[in-house]
Chains A and B, each alone.
Chain A
Amino acid sequence: MKRITLFLSLITLPFLSGCWDQHELDELSIVMGIGIDRADNGEMRASFQVVNPSEVSPGIGGGGGGKQPNFTVYTSNGKNLMEATRNASRQTPRRLFFAHARILVLSEKVVKEKGIYDTLDMISRDPEVRSTIQVFIARGTDPGTILETFSAIDKVSADEVASKLEVSEKVWGENIGMDINEVLQSMISQGSEPIINGLSLRGDDEQAITAKNYEAGKPARLYLNGMAVFKHGKLKKWADGSNARGIVFVKDNINSSVINIDCEGKKDSVAIEVVRSKVELKADMKGEIPRIKVTAYPETNIAEANCPADFENKDTIFKLEKLLNKEVEKEIKASINFVQKQKTDVIGFGELIYRTDPKKWRKIRKHWDKTFPKIEVTVEADSRIRRPGIRTSPFQYELKNEADR
């Protein structure tokens, strides 16, 4: 009898409970990108890039295909992000599903004027949004337009942007992937500030948001454009080009990059491919103001040489290494100067000092803002050129030899 009661209660329980959190796949709008902006009346404006799965997935499914866009963007306003999100349900036929969102795009204007703080809480609180969502700032355009832009290769532009970042991080080194978690961590912890990638649109704005964009020979494209340096939660300045790469170098996030050096008096004629790099940071705590020593150890290959140099001679290589050292030192030095000028510790020198000497840090952390620009930083590079590709000397060297003979 007892057995039966137990059995019955087990059986009936599921039926009583119903299906609160069950959602069939066709009841979901899969959001791939989230954009946050402010409307003119000061309300929060959220944009969601939602995929149309039957257009995006290969093979069976939608059938005919090509008649509907790959994705669509919903935009709605609200007093805060949550209200804006729920407000969007008036437009969306299905429940917005955030678990697969890959990018979060913030408006440049907003983070410059109002700061980043108000935008991040809901994203980090919602259990659905993954903590690996990449954060970007729409530079020179607005998040809505970025999300609406049709992409040429990947079917969903949010996906494409995230992949662009991954590739560029791996081979170019002017950007570091920053997910929401890292942004929060660097924002809160004393002695470091966030640094967030910029995203821009190049080409015809009008055409970008129409389906014509991926049919056009010269489509409008999204591209990574520098990194935003923050101070107290507000965008302070954009770090571009070598400044950006210098920061990435010091943060020890370089996977691979290209550095040009002079050769035989020809400017920038040798391209050096950085294969991997390691950076050592040391803080010298003696004295009132700590001193920091940065030592970089890039490992490189010769990727291109447009000059008549003899690569079979090891002295040539050593010469190149010295030039490379100077180039790297210059770049890092310049970027540190840039950061110090902005008075924002995106590299995390404060963290470094805290790690080396917590007691000292506790003394100086109150006026770290003032101390940071005064810190004396010495930069040293000790690079290695491992191999010159599959060729020995460049053919220009042979040409020169022929001519000499």
Chain B
Amino acid sequence: MREQYKISIKQYFTLIVLFELGSAILVGLGMNAGRDAWLAVLIGLVAGVFLFLLYIYMFKQFPELPLSKYLPLIVGKHFGKVLNMLYMLYFMYLAARVLRDFGSLLLSAVFVQTPIIVVNSLMILTIIYVLHLGFEVLARTGEIFFALTVLIGLSIFVLVLGADIMNWNYIKPIAGEGWMPVLKASFPVTPTFPFGEMIAFTMLFPYLRTKKKALSIGLTAMILSGLILSLTVAADIAILGGHVATHVFFPLLSAVAKINLGEFIQRLDALVVFTLITGGFFKIAVFLYVSVKIAQDVFSVKEERSLLMPLGIVILFGSVAVASNFVEHINEGLNIVPHFIHVPFQLIIPVFFTVIYLIRKKSIKKKLASGSSTLT
């Protein structure tokens, strides 16, 4: 087994940003709040930061261990294994959902007649290949694609300004229907997706080269991506108008499609699709890697590479099976998953084991100290 690669702080930053923007920038985030969707995103960010602080707190207690290793310590070996299994399935499910998101995006925008399984399997094969080269390669590739994404993002921003298609009147008044609808649209959707999904990084914290910066850099990256998301949502609404923005599946795509500079630069949506794909790529890859890592602990498999293919294929078929149609998929994503899946896994279980940890702190520390030689 090869030595575990250490993630540099730059790679940590770029991975978080790509991960957070990944699929969230694509689907209309918080669009239930109508023209105040951008506010809903910001509220989600604030709530998400608290979740992140909770994860970081647990990491500080076990700076050398990932989630899957300290869970059994806290709740006991067998129950820990059950929880680990659940988390593995959770991350795989999330990966499948993101994969489905992107498959649907491609299908509705470009590949109208292509079966979704083909599009998705191409994606999952690419991810498996890259992870096969090692997580290090993924992290480094992330650096390059981060730069590319920034470049393309900025040029699209310039084009939008140049095309003069934004009408800021569309997002006024702020909270015109009162704050209740905004809050209703925010909870629990926006804090859990995408900010709460940072729980996946609890598996990666111990591999940071500079562990001290896990909090500060992580927060910066989260806040930056939150602001980008909020700005994007605001721009979507300013370009399309509140009605259209909330009634298309991929507002960003429709917004970019409106760029038309002198009949020469037009229909950039097709180009944007492929920039977005890279974001989805990293999100799915992180989820897949994290679930492989947990599976490695649960089933005590030595070589992580041997798990990539089986889990990848499960995710592939999962992505097709999660919903029978796109509407169902989106409905689940907005109404069911946040309440019944995100909240337990991102909030309830972490709070639960944190509390247990605080109660049994001493004995756990003792166990950790004595067992450290056998653990590592």
Q: How many residues of chain A get a CB closer than 8 Å to chain B's CBs?
A: 28
Structural contact, A13 and B173, CB atoms closer than 8 A: no
| Pairwise interchain contact A188-B243, C-beta atoms closer than 8 A | yes
The distance in angstroms between the C-alpha atoms of A248 and B128, with both chains bound, is 57
How close is A64's CB to chain B, nearest CB, in angstroms? Answer: 28
A21 proximal to B (CB < 8 A): yes
Give the residue name and chain of the A residue nearest to B241 (CB).
A185
Q: Does B71 contact A (CB under 8 A)?
A: no
CA distance A302 to B208 in the complex (A): 69
A21/B112 in contact, CB under 8 A: yes
State whether A13 and B111 are in contact (beta carbons under 8 Å apart), knowing that A99-B267, A184-B244 are contacts in the complex.
Answer: no
Contact in complex: A127, B108 (CB < 8 Å): yes
Q: For A10, A127, A361, which residue has the most chain B Cβ atoms within 10 angstroms?
A: A127
Which one of B109, B121, B169, B258 lies within 8 Å of A127 (CB-CB)? B109
Closest residue of chain A to B306 (Cβ to Cβ) is A2
| Chain B 101-130: CB-based contact to A (< 8 A → 1; otherwise 0) | 000000011111111001001100100110
Given contacts A354-B173, A354-B176, A358-B176, contact A20 B122 (CB under 8 A): no
Contacts A181-B244, A184-B243, A184-B244 given; does A130 touch B114 at CB 8 Å: no
Number of chain B residues whose Cβ lies closer than 8 Å to a Cβ of chain A: 34
Which residues of chain B from 163 to 204 have a CB within 8 Å of any chain A CB?
A: 169-170, 172-173, 175-178
Task: Determine the distance from Cα of A356 to Cα of B172 in the docked complex, in whole angstroms.
Answer: 9
Cα distance, A9 to B316, chains bound together (Å): 15
Question: Within 8 Å of chain A (Cβ to Cβ): is B254?
Answer: yes
Q: Does A131 contact B (CB under 8 A)?
A: yes
The answer, among B108, B128, B240, B266, for a CB contact under 8 Å with A130, is B266
Q: What per-residue 1/0 map shows which CB atoms of B241-261 lie under 8 Å from chain A?
A: 111100000000010011010
A-side contacts of B121, CB under 8 Å? 13
The residues of A that contact B108 with a CB separation of less than 8 Å are 127
Question: Is there an interface contact between A189 and B129, defined as CB atoms closer than 8 Å?
Answer: no
A391 adjacent to chain B (CB < 8 Å): no
Q: How far is the CB of A226 from chain B (nearest CB, A)?
A: 24
B128 / chain A contacts, CB cutoff of 8 Å: 6
Closest to A181 in B: B244
Contacts A9-B125, A21-B112, A354-B176 known; A185 to B258 CB distance under 8 Å?
no
Nearest B residue to A9, CB-CB: B125
A-chain residues with CB within 8 Å of residue B244 when the two chains form the complex:
181, 184-185
* CA distance in complex: A36, B244 (Å): 22
Residues facing A in B23-67 (CB within 8 A) are none
CB distance from B228 to the nearest CB of A (A): 23
- Docked complex: A99-143 residues within 8 A CB-CB of B: 99, 127, 130-132
Least CB separation from B117: chain A residue: A17
Interface residues of B (CB under 8 A from A): 108-115, 118, 121-122, 125, 128-129, 132, 169-170, 172-173, 175-178, 240-244, 254, 257-258, 260, 266-267
Contacts A20-B115, A185-B170, A185-B241 known; 19 new A-B pairs at CB < 8 A:
A6-B129, A6-B132, A21-B111, A21-B113, A127-B108, A131-B254, A131-B258, A132-B257, A179-B258, A181-B241, A184-B241, A184-B243, A184-B244, A188-B243, A355-B169, A355-B172, A355-B173, A356-B173, A362-B177
- 9 A-B residue contacts at CB 8 Å? A17-B118, A20-B111, A20-B113, A130-B257, A130-B266, A132-B257, A184-B244, A185-B170, A358-B178
